Amino acid sequence: MAISRKNSEMYDDPTAYEALTRIEIEEERRRVRPLVYICSPYSGDVQRNTFNACRYSRFAAKSGYIPVTPHLMYPQFLNDNDPAERDLGLQFGNALMDRCAEVWVFGAHVSNGMAAEIKRAKQRRCRIRYFTERCEERKEALS
């Protein structure tokens, strides 16, 4: 639907035009899949944890979301064993989390990195959902 800058009397009405344009943009955003931040272990058994992060991301995609999984991307070119590069990867992940509608926490164990992500999500008052390793939603957080 094209929005006219003119009102019914054919006078320019920029205020109404701006308001209606913003409403149309917001409605379009709602039709797009929301971003969800995937929070799961990485360090330790990196091969297994990477495999699981891929499963969790696929689950999110099949559930109608766009998964954002920084620990699948940044270790490809940043060294997780180098504190400066690890910190840079965490900063990148934080920037991505700020754009996500929800944070999904997976698994039975919360690593130090995950704890920091959960803390940040709580500070942002972001919706946090908890899942088992089998992608079954939990009613409450891990203790």
15 domain residue, yes or no: no
* Mean of pLDDT values over 33-55: 95
Q: How far is CA 105 from CA 12, 15, 71, 82, 95, in A?
A: 50, 43, 13, 25, 18
- Residue 62, in any domain of the structure: yes
What is the CATH classification number for the domain harbouring 43? 3.40.50.450
Q: Is the pLDDT reported for residue 26 higher than 80?
A: no
More confident residue, 110 or 10: 110
Of 130, 90, 92, residue with least CA distance to 112:
90
Residue 83 forms part of a structural domain: yes
Q: CA-to-CA distance for 140 and 142, rounded, in angstroms?
A: 7
**pTM listed for this prediction:** 0.76
Write down the mean pLDDT value for the chain: 89
Q: Per the domain annotation, does 114 fall within a domain?
A: yes
Range(s) of the domain holding residue 48 = 33-138
Per-residue tokens: 19? 């308001």
- Per DSSP, the three-state class of 36 is strand
Coil, strand or helix: which one is 3? coil
- Please check whether residue 49 lies inside any domain of the structure: yes
Which residue has 């946090």 as its token pair?
128
- Residue 40, domain member (yes or no): yes
- Helix intervals (H) in the chain: 14-31, 46-62, 70-73, 83-97, 112-123
For residue 14, being part of any structural domain is answered with no
d(CA 62, CA 47): 23
- What domain count does the chain have? 1
More confident call, 14 vs 80: 80
Q: With cut-offs at 50, 70 and 90, classify the pLDDT of residue 39.
A: very high
